[in-house]
Amino acid sequence: MSVLSLNMFLPSLSAIAEDFGVDYAVANLSMGAFLAVTAVLQIIIGPLSDRYGRRPIMLLGLAGFAIGSVGCFLAQDIVGFLAFRLLQATGVVGIALSRAVVRDMHGPREAASMLGYISMVMAIAPMTGPTIGGLLHEAFGWRSNFAAYALVGLGILVLTWRDLGETNRNRAATMGEQFATYPELLKSRRFWGYTLCSSLSVGAFYIYITGIVLIGVSVFGLRPTMVGMTVGAIAIGFSLGSFLSGRLAKRRPLWQLMIGGRIVGFVGLCAGLAIVLAGFVHPIPYVGAVIFVGMGNGLTLPSTNSGAMSVRPKLAGSASGLSGAMSVATGAGLTSLTGAVLSPENGAVLMMSMMLAVVAASLLCALYVRWLDVVEPLAEEAG
């Protein structure tokens, strides 16, 4: 649901701008501002869940998402639409706290394996969401996407109310005590290594979903439904990578999967950029190269997420929230940058070059974490 709230309505952005009589850049705030609020919320959600428990914070976030979805569906002007869209951002609890719940129940390697399988299922959302959104738009108009959000949000709220028990058994006595231990996390070089690796890995995804909408229409001449399919194609690789992570994480150290995933993404983009620079600009090899980025993320992210939460296990919620906030903040910045610099003339080469630079930086972060594992071994077997 958290992923669907980001990408399912993307094929409708132009229609939303036209319906409300505003520029595309204003309508695009429904993505950029949404990401910014999501980043801030995760910083707050993590410590709150460490103090008050995962269950109550999860329920509040899901309720906010459902109300925001209904508000977007009913909105009559761009201001009301954007206000309720920001309320939808509370649905980020679905990502931030689900990871913490898994880490509450399992050790580092077991958590990475579980997160791999969960990520494989989550990949259904980016794989199919834009396509479903495009079909709903063509059949019923853009508001139908937000009707679907409302129904899904209410359904998950009921399911969570009935089924999710409390997993945080080591809650701080007060918020003061909670924040007193927070600097332990912020001072950890290993935590920041995992977090930056994760953020930059996800950053390549954000560059792609922002740029491929422009490239799909202006360069490849695709219809909205086909654009939705190209947006979701990266999730095909992510699903495969996540499956492999689930199978391998219990048997292999986290650093091997983390670095291996970065290498897969880097090599795939190098091949794709070489094809484009050779003058062969076609959607099949272009999207095919990006699928390797998804596969690399599927291998890397379960390990980086589990590793970040294992640096200080008692602060798993805070670690999940802070690392998630960094990922979203990085994504928001790269989304804005991508929208600002891409054009139909330079888009195909520049977007892939930007993705390659970000993936290369994430590989350096992964190597840095491995170096820390060697020179600063932890009592917790996080790597």
Task: Look up the CATH number of the domain holding residue 131.
Answer: 1.20.1250.20
26-58 pLDDT tens trace: 887 887 788 888 888 888 887 888 888 889 999
Domain assignment present for 175: no
When the pLDDT of each residue in the chain is averaged and rounded to a whole number, the result is 84
Is pLDDT above 50 for 381? Answer: no
> pTM value?
0.75
Instruction: State the pLDDT confidence band at 383, using cuts at 50, 70 and 90.
Output: very low
Say if 90 falls within a structural domain: yes
30 inside domain: yes
Predicted confidence (pLDDT) per residue in 319-377, tens digit: 877 887 888 788 878 887 887 887 877 878 898 999 999 999 999 999 999 998 888 76
Query: Per residue in 308-319, pLDDT tens?
Result: 888 877 777 778
pLDDT tens, residue by residue, 66-97 = 999 999 999 999 999 999 999 999 998 888 88
- pLDDT tier, 224 (very low <50, low <70, confident <90, very high otherwise): low
pLDDT band at 380 (very low <50, low <70, confident <90, very high): very low
| Per-residue confidence (pLDDT) for residue 88, from 0 to 100 | 94
Query: Does 18 score more than 50 pLDDT?
Result: yes
Res. 382: pLDDT tops 50: no
- Report yes or no on 78 lying in a domain: yes
Whether residue 381 is contained in a domain is answered as no
CA–CA dist 28, 308 (Å, integer)? 31
- Residue 240 pLDDT more than 90? no
Lowest average pLDDT, out of 77-91, 94-108, 226-240, 270-284, goes to 226-240
Tell me which residue has tokens 């959104």. 133
Which pLDDT value is given to residue 66? Answer: 95
pLDDT of amino acid 330? 87
Percent above pLDDT 70 for the chain? 94
Output the pLDDT for position 180: 66
Q: What is the pLDDT of residues 129-178, one digit of tens each?
A: 777 888 898 889 889 999 999 999 999 999 999 998 888 887 766 666 66
Domain that holds residue 366: 4-166+181-375
Q: Is residue 307 part of a domain?
A: yes
Residue at 345 is within a domain: yes
Q: Does residue 338 fall inside a structural domain? A: yes
Confidence grade of residue 181 (pLDDT, cut at 50, 70, 90)? low
Q: How many domains does the chain have?
A: 1
pLDDT, residue 12, reads: 84
